[in-house]
């Protein structure tokens, strides 16, 4: 891969030694140029170079760097740091938990879209995932898409990055396909979050290269296997801190049963939804010397520094479907009218949130229309409906809902811990709601 004198233009030149291999490669690149990749953040070939050696031209936006640079920086400080703060410094400098989850959510969604078009990426590794250099952004681009294929493609060893290749590829039983993409994604995600490889526990780290090769071929259990602890890991960040329960169960499916049975690996759409759900649970710790984000899944106590964050600065919104058509006139309490979906989000002080028709963490979220924005400030809770959206609010213990047609604020002085419902839709038919205590 080479930079050129033109801004944002890169060139990749064939490294094949024989004329026949070069011709085959160029044919494959021409085929990739015709693939339906519109709207996907993939730097694809836009023109073929014929002389002096075959290659192709691609465009890539400015201000990106490979994910491998983030990983190297984080793992270096983890291994070399003298105390816990120094060990974590690389993790924090590269954006901490919140940014990692956002980047992985974007990457998962991109791969889910690609798989949805019947295509597999082929050689997914941190060196060909490019992300925003600036910490406040979370752009994700895939480059080096030479191995893109429909369904499946045979590969040569040299094309695969061993740490990220699925076990069945390293056992030479399979080419690349969407299930091997899922494996590679899961390894990247685990490594970025836990700062350790999911197959390289103490047994591998203390053993020779042959033990590592056996682990990568899937001959040893993964590091968090619940019963077979042969390869457990004493390094890396604790998974209970860096993963939500939902993410932990996806990793467990992928590296547990999915180690030997590729079909058991969770789909990219499931990963994308779980990372988007995790994003909605991240909270910035208030302690001045901490600077970490954490998942407010079970409590507001920061697991990095143990500081108890103030409940006044956070509001938990719980998603329920309201289904009046299920009402049974003979039943006093209308069981079934309010259906809890298990989705929730944390609203933090001065961090406005957009609520859509489908809640974050569901497969429809990414295509769902925004209905309102909600913001917690020192003066109260502000709800701003989007144009033309039917939104209303009421206290659970009294009163009919009143329609919100312009920005409205529940004042801080009125916050007494009572339950409220925000209705996203007309009162007479079924619609989603968010409930919270105010």
Of 49 and 287, which has the nearer Cβ to Zn ion?
287
Q: Supply the minimum distance, in Å, between the C-beta of residue 240 and Zn ion.
A: 15
* 64-83 exposure pattern, b = at least 16 Cβ within 10 A, e = fewer: bebbbebbeebbebbeeeee
Near Zn ion by CB under 5 A: residue from 91, 141, 275, 304: 304
Of 96 and 266, which has the nearer Cβ to Zn ion?
96
HEC sequence for 196-252: CCCCCCHHHHHCCHHHHHHHHCCCCCCCCCCCCCCCCCCCCCCHHHHCCHHHHHHHH
Task: Determine the 3-state secondary structure of 27 from DSSP.
Answer: helix
x/- mask, Zn ion, residues 397-426, rule CB under 5 A, reads ------------------------------
Closest CA relative to residue 435, chosen from 355, 336, 352: 355
Of 120 and 290, which has the nearer Cβ to Zn ion?
290
Q: Of 43-51, 107-115, 178-186, 300-308, which segment contacts Zn ion by CB under 5 A? A: 300-308
Of 93 and 219, which has the nearer Cβ to Zn ion?
93
DSSP state of 308: B
Peptide bond into 52 cis (omega under 30): yes
Q: Of 103-111, 149-157, 307-315, 316-324, which segment contacts Zn ion by CB under 5 A? A: 307-315
DSSP state of 8: T
Q: Supply the minimum distance, in Å, between the C-beta of residue 136 and Zn ion.
A: 20
Q: Rounded to an integer, what distance in angstroms lies between the CA atom of residue 332 and that of residue 267?
A: 42
Near Zn ion by CB under 5 A: residue from 108, 204, 242, 302: 302
Q: Supply the minimum distance, in Å, between the C-beta of residue 284 and Zn ion.
A: 9
| Positions in 32-91 near Zn ion (CB under 5 A) | none
x/- mask, Zn ion, residues 252-291, rule CB under 5 A, reads ---------------------------------x-x--x-
Q: Of 13-21, 159-167, 294-302, 341-349, which segment contacts Zn ion by CB under 5 A? A: 294-302
Near Zn ion by CB under 5 A: residue from 9, 49, 269, 305: 305
Q: Supply the minimum distance, in Å, between the C-beta of residue 295 and Zn ion.
A: 12
Paired strand residues for 375: 382
Q: Judge whether 96 and 70 are in contact, CB under 8 Å.
A: no
Q: Judge whether 132 and 64 are in contact, CB under 8 Å.
A: yes
Q: Judge whether 337 and 326 are in contact, CB under 8 Å.
A: yes
Of 233 and 302, which has the nearer Cβ to Zn ion?
302
Number of residues that bind Zn ion (CB under 5 A): 7
Near Zn ion by CB under 5 A: residue from 200, 307, 320, 423: 307
Q: How many CB atoms lie within 10 A of CB 45?
A: 23
Burial group, residue 406, by CB count within 10 angstroms (0-12, 13-18, 19+): exposed
Of 50 and 289, which has the nearer Cβ to Zn ion?
289
Q: Of 185-193, 219-227, 273-281, 296-304, which segment contacts Zn ion by CB under 5 A? A: 296-304
Of 308 and 327, which has the nearer Cβ to Zn ion?
308
Q: Rounded to an integer, what distance in angstroms lies between the CA atom of residue 373 and that of residue 333?
A: 31
State the Cα angle at 82 between 78 and 87, rounded to 5°: 25
CA 323, chain centre distance (Å): 31
Burial group, residue 310, by CB count within 10 angstroms (0-12, 13-18, 19+): exposed
Q: Supply the minimum distance, in Å, between the C-beta of residue 84 and Zn ion.
A: 12
Paired strand residues for 213: none
Q: Supply the minimum distance, in Å, between the C-beta of residue 352 and Zn ion.
A: 23
Closest CA relative to residue 301, chosen from 241, 386, 345: 241
Q: Is 315 in the site for Zn ion (CB under 5 A)?
A: no
Q: Supply the minimum distance, in Å, between the C-beta of residue 91 and Zn ion.
A: 13
Closest CA relative to residue 124, chosen from 139, 137, 110: 110
Q: Supply the minimum distance, in Å, between the C-beta of residue 289 and Zn ion.
A: 8
Q: Of 179-187, 295-303, 339-347, 422-430, which segment contacts Zn ion by CB under 5 A? A: 295-303
Interface residue list for Zn ion (CB under 5 A): 285, 287, 290, 302, 304-305, 307
């Amino acid at each position: 891969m080479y930079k050129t004198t033109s801004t944002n233009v890169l060139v990749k030149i064939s490294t094949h030694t024989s004329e026949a291999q070069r011709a085959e490669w160029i044919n494959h690149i021409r085929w990739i140029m015709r693939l339906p990749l519109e709207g996907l953040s993939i730097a694809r070939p836009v023109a073929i170079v014929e002389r002096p050696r075959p290659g192709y031209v691609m465009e890539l936006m400015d201000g990106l760097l490979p994910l491998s640079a983030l990983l190297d920086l984080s793992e270096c400080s983890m291994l070399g740091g003298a105390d816990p703060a120094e060990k974590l410094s690389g993790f924090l400098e590269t954006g901490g938990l919140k940014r990692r989850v956002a980047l992985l959510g974007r990457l998962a969604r991109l791969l889910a879209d690609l798989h949805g078009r019947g295509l597999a990426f082929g050689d997914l590794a941190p060196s060909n995932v490019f992300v925003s250099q600036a910490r406040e952004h979370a752009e994700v681009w895939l480059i080096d898409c030479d191995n893109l294929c429909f369904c499946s493609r045979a590969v040569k060893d040299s094309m695969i990055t061993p740490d990220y290749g699925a076990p069945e590829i390293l056992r030479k039983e399979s080419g690349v396909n969407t299930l091997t993409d899922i494996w590679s994604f899961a390894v990247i995600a685990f490594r970025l979050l836990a700062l350790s490889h999911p197959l390289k526990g103490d047994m591998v780290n203390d053993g020779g290269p042959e033990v590592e090769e056996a682990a990568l071929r899937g001959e040893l259990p993964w590091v968090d296997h619940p019963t077979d602890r042969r390869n457990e890991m004493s390094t890396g960040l604790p998974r209970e801190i860096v993963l939500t329960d939902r993410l932990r169960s996806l990793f467990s499916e992928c590296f547990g049963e999915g180690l030997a049975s590729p079909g058991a690996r969770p789909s990219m759409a499931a990963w994308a939804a779980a990372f988007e759900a995790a994003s909605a649970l991240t909270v910035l710790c208030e302690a001045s010397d901490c600077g970490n984000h954490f998942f407010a899944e079970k409590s507001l106590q920061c697991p990095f520094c143990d500081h108890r964050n103030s409940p006044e600065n956070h509001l938990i919104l719980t998603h329920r479907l309201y289904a009046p058509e299920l009402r049974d006139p003979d039943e006093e309490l209308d069981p079934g009218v309010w259906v809890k979906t298990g989705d929730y989000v944390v609203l933090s002080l001065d961090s406005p949130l957009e609520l859509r028709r489908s809640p974050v963490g569901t497969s429809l979220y990414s295509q769902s229309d925004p209905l309102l924005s909600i913001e917690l400030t020192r003066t109260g809770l502000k709800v701003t409906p989007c144009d033309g959206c039917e939104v209303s609010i009421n206290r659970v213990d009294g009163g009919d809902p009143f329609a919100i047609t312009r920005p409205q604020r529940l004042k801080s002085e009125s916050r007494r811990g009572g339950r409220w419902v925000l209705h996203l839709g007309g009162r007479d038919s079924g619609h989603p709601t968010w409930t919270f205590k105010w």
